[in-house]
A and B are shown apart, each in its own frame.
Chain A
Amino acid sequence: MGLIWVPAAKAAATIAGGSNLKKQARAGRRSYQSYALPQRFSLLHPGVMMLFFVAVLVVTLISYHPLLLLLSLVLAAAGVALYLGSRSLLQTFAWLIPSAVIVVGFNVLFNRRGATELATLQFFGSSFTFTQESLFFGASIALMLAAIMLWFRLYQHFMTSDRFLYLAAPVMPTTALAIAMVQRWIPLTKYRWQQIRRAQKSLQIDSGKRRRDQYRALTQSLSALMSWSMEDAIEAADSMQARGYRSKKEHRRTSFRAYRFTSTDAAATALIATLFAIATVTIFATTRDLAFFPVFRGADLLSPVGLAATLALMAFPLLIEGKEKLTWSLRTRIHSQ
């Protein structure tokens, strides 16, 4: 059992540390597995994935109840830890926490509403009052932002360019192609930049010189990068033309990718849609009277049904991975017997 999760964890770690494109490129060259992770969620139809992320984000955005927001944050964090590794989760928190502190701080300092006094400052003859409610409100907003950020982290991981294009291409084929070309262009430009810098360094043009000369060498390299890219773009344009791009205007561009919509996908769609409907309706109906100011009220407004639906919706990835894990652990047990 453990054996199965070792490659998954390794692959996840590769992706997690993969902000560096070069590293990713090397990983990609060596092992193609890292692009097809052994994760059940990644086998779902892109439409189902998109539905899930839209549902989760909408529920998080419409719920002002701190408990719901906390739930969203915890489950999003669990998802990031599961799919991207705990290291990646810690890295995300490293900048989430400071930004949360800023959000809370701004609310406390500049939000004058609220009835419960926390502290009063005398400042050049005028008095400033900080309230408990503004602190609480700020904390809720920070929770929501953090939860959304974490969900987007997962979205980025799963909605790769090809999945996005599959969904977007029929609607906007030209934009879809442009995105694919940009995805190609970024590593290419990075590679060219590395080549130029390495060549310049080995010529010792900008080593140990005055700062002004170093800046000059840097701007020269940048302009070289521009002309190199433009020069090569001509060849790319030729290649596109030779392969019939824009040759027949009456044709609509079509798309290669086809994901099959399986019965599992249908079941998942039904489940997500139902949970989403229950969650939104109950959240709208019950927390309408939720208020932070002048005094927080509505802690008791949350219905158990809404809470359960939200929990089930957001735990969906955890549930299907759990099921997968269970299947494998049973199978390994049978095999080992």
Chain B
Amino acid sequence: MVPTHTHTQPIITAQDLCFSYPQATTAALQVINFSVEFGQFILLCGRTGSGKTTLLRQLVPALRPHGSITGSIEIAGQTGFVQQDPDNQIVTDLVFHELAFALENQGLPTQVIRRKVAEIATYFGLEYLLESPTHSLSGGQKQLLNLAATLVTDPDILVLDEPTSELDPIAAQNFLRHLARVNRELGTTIICCEHRLDEVLSLADRVFLMKKAGECVHTPTPKAAASTQPVQTAALLSYEPQEFVESCAEENKDYVLYLPEPTQIALALAPSDLPLDVRTGRTWLTNILPERSAQRAVEGSCVSQEKVSDATRTNPAITLRDLCFRYDKTEPYILTHLQASFSAGEIHAIVGGNASGKSTLLGLISGVLKSQLGKVKLTKGLRLAALTQNPKASFTCDTLREDLSNVTQHSTPVTPHSTPVILSERSESKDLALDLDPDTYPAADAVANITQQLGLTALLDRHPYDLSGGEAQKAALAKVLLTNPDILLLDEPTKGLDAQAKADIGQVLQNLAAAGKTILLVTHDLPFAARYTQTCSLLANGEIIATAPTRDFFIGNSFYTTPTQRMTRKIIDGCVTVADAATTLISQKD
């Protein structure tokens, strides 16, 4: 670090920065003013297309896109850059070589490189992996390696573009913890674009909110204008985290879904002094309910989930009997004598730790893998389709339209009768029932219908790779739905999705289940499972340890459960989702 910097001096200053790509009619960045102080942790957020990535790339001199730029941006230091996809950033085959890559480029002597690599590996706890091939690492380890390989040259500023969007929640938490450590222990300035606000908000010093051209009608709040930041313009608003959270009550309403669950609950009652995590959330809750806190638990007033009828229990769509599976005879069993049954017309979630065999189980049910012992029984005549983890793998054509019609050409209808399904309530044609049977509906109609229901119509002529994470996931789902399945298997359907896209997908799944489809999903995303599923199973040690209706399942857990349940446990009974807690508290107030 350069010793001349003091804390009052900004490390990055942008003044009236405008940028437009060559041949573009509208500017990608419009009059942006901000300054970042030395050692700050900046959280950058904004809707898709608001120019977050364009702005971040302006901060990395080696990656500045071509185009016309006006105004000025001054960066007083060296920048490192970490991107979204853990796989694509890795250049070499072995971990130590990856860590050494940037140093090799600088032409440092071997002895210096060795020392720095050893140092950074020890700092991040990667030393036991030094000799491993990079492809054998898990996604979380890969992204940590990318962070370490960037930090090894000791940059003053670290720029990250949605670094956890490809990671499961546990790996994402771990990554962000390391990021916080880098900020606190090394004093590196961090600018991080992230849609998991719930994890980052409590770490950030400031929140930068980017608005699209059409959105910049708001004037900054008086509080924000009075703050130390010199300039506030409509294109990029700078907030204190608490300020930002409070602004979500009014002008930034569409960001409520993105906030941490404790904040959302508090926001439903009072829009000031909001908690940012579970710990402060519990304090806030005991303050709100002072007279009750001594009695430990308040009875939750939420409607209890309707019990699954015995008729469906006795006639399950999928039955698994004594499944045993391993990948190779030299390897241990991943699943041992696994028993389960899943009834039709419901959404089932299977949760469990990393490498507990969740995806393996889906592979066995879909028939991609074959078990060594035991049986997978599907009710006769039911069609099964699976959505893989990476939506990119589902697309083979140049436009989404081609891709979707490709499915209808090739899939054959098997079901004797078809059920009209309304997929999404958000679409304009609320009453339009979707008949998935290609016999009665010509293929083009089926594509048109399904894209309309999922809100994909405007995207039909795009290349599938040009879709955002949420759009791609929805498109892949549309593709699977066009095969007209009765059983739908989903592997991490919410991976990399922002809160709004999650809500959309959850709604679609609920409508499908209501139409009698069987939906089985494996996920790390506990709040999603709590909000949208009927039953939950815990997979651990090769077996399904527990299966229960979702609410009972999460209430029974104290560690492996939703933030809301962790915040309210022992204070209010029976709150699993934000809506539960909010309704309970509001009724208490009355």
Binding site for B on A (CB under 8 A): 10, 13-14, 17, 23-26, 28-30, 32, 35-36, 161-162, 165, 177, 180-181, 183-184, 187-188, 191-192, 195-196, 198-206, 209, 213, 217, 220-221, 223-224, 227-228, 231-233, 235-236, 238-248, 251-258
Contact = CB atoms under 8 A, between A and B. Distances in A.
Contact of A195 (B102, B388, B465): B388
Given A205-B411, A235-B89, A238-B63, A243 B105 contact: yes
Best-buried of B108, B131, B387 by chain A (most CB within 10 Å): B131
A165 B93 CA distance: 12
Interface stretch (B134-142, B220-228, B519-527): B134-142
A247 B476 CA distance: 40
B44 interface: no
A28 B133 contact: yes
B47 interface: no
Contact of A243 (B132, B153, B395, B483): B153
Contact of B385 (A36, A203, A206, A238): A203
A240 B133 contact: no
A239 B91 contact: yes
27 contacts: A13-B330, A23-B328, A26-B328, A29-B136, A32-B129, A162-B97, A180-B91, A180-B94, A192-B393, A198-B393, A199-B393, A199-B394, A202-B366, A204-B411, A205-B411, A228-B392, A238-B83, A243-B80, A243-B149, A243-B150, A245-B105, A254-B103, A254-B104, A254-B110, A256-B110, A257-B96, A258-B114
Given A191-B135, A203-B411, A242-B150, 12 more contacts: A29-B137, A32-B129, A161-B94, A162-B97, A204-B411, A206-B410, A213-B410, A223-B396, A228-B392, A233-B88, A255-B100, A257-B97
A231 B465 contact: yes
B104 A255 contact: yes
B552 interface: no
A199 B472 CA distance: 14
Across the A-B interface, give the 8 residue pairs with the lowest CB-CB distance, nearest first. A251-B107, A256-B100, A183-B93, A28-B136, A202-B386, A195-B393, A239-B89, A235-B88
B483 A204 contact: yes
Given A181-B92, A184-B93, A248-B106, A220 B397 contact: yes
A162 B153 CA distance: 22
A246 B102 CA distance: 10
Contacts of B79: 242
B385 A204 contact: yes
B581 interface: no
Contact of B97 (A180, A228, A239): A180
Contacts of A202: 366, 368, 385-388, 480, 489
Given A181-B92, A254-B104, A256-B103, A232 B136 contact: no
Nearest to B394: A199
B63 A242 contact: yes
Best-buried of B91, B390, B406, B479 by chain A (most CB within 10 Å): B91
A35 B385 CA distance: 39
Interface in B455-474: 465
B331 interface: yes
A240 B170 CA distance: 28
Given A196-B393, A220-B396, A188 B135 contact: yes
Interface in B368-405: 368, 385-388, 390, 392-397
Contacts of B88: 232-233, 235-236, 239
A205 B192 CA distance: 40
Contacts of B92: 177, 180-181, 183-184
Interface residues of B, number: 76
Contacts of A188: 87, 135
A242 B81 contact: yes
B575 to A, nearest CB: 37
B330 A14 contact: yes
Given A25-B136, A161-B94, A254 B396 contact: no
Contacts of B87: 188, 232
Contacts of A162: 94, 97
B85 interface: yes
Contacts of B128: 32
Contacts of B117: 256
A203 B393 contact: no
A199 B109 CA distance: 47
A256 B97 contact: yes
Nearest to B137: A29
B407 interface: yes
A227 B83 contact: no
A195 B91 contact: no
A310 to B, nearest CB: 35
Contacts of B393: 192, 195-196, 198-199, 224, 228
A41 B4 CA distance: 53
A253 to B, nearest CB: 5
Interface string B112-123: 011001000000
Contacts of B342: none
B302 to A, nearest CB: 37
A121 B105 CA distance: 69
A101 B85 CA distance: 51
B190 interface: no
Contacts of B131: 32, 35-36
B406 A205 contact: yes
B91 A240 contact: yes
A268 B150 CA distance: 40
A192 B393 CA distance: 7
Contacts of A227: 465
B105 A251 contact: yes
A241 B63 contact: yes
A224 B396 contact: yes
Best-buried of A177, A191, A199, A202 by chain B (most CB within 10 Å): A202
Contacts of B100: 255-256
Contacts of A239: 81, 83, 88-91, 146
A254 B109 contact: yes
A184 B134 contact: yes
Nearest to A238: B63
A150 to B, nearest CB: 25
B208 interface: no
B135 A258 contact: no
